[in-house]
Amino acid sequence: MDPLETLRRLCRALPETTERLSHGEPTWFIRDKKTFVTFADHHHDDRVAFWCAAPPGAQEALVASAPDRFFRPPYVGHRGWLGVYLDVPVDWAEIEEIVTDAYRTVAPKTLVARLDAQPQAAPGPA
């Protein structure tokens, strides 16, 4: 399973998201403006991961509970963003929740309401 393609599918399933390169990496935006997820393919180290917006307190809790899977990313970690390693065994249902939480953290209320109105799809990769 290609982690980039699976991450791409999860991000693009959310309302009004687009993808383009930012700092040389695939990045997903809400309404072409607000970043909520950035892929990190050996961007600052030898790891494959992604960085995402996170609800208050989530970064600290996840990094403390599983530092082998989560980290504080450079540049955006001080804003509470979460780093998620993809070169370890991955629970894609959990990743889907993390990506959706990132979207909810950044998206305007109208898009969050639209997301809440969508029928729930089966979790996991296609």
Query: Between residues 75 and 97, which one has the greater pLDDT?
Result: 97
AA letter at 95: I
Domain borders along the chain are 3-107
- For 6-42, the DSSP string reads HHHHHHHTSTTEEEEEETTEEEEEETTTEEEEEEEES
Average pLDDT of the segment spanning 85-107 = 97
Asked whether the predicted pLDDT for residue 100 surpasses 60, the reply is yes
- Say which CATH architecture domain 3-107 belongs to: Alpha-Beta Complex (3.90)
pTM: 0.90
Give the pLDDT confidence of 24-66 residue by residue, as tens digits: 899 999 999 999 999 998 666 788 999 999 999 999 999 999 9
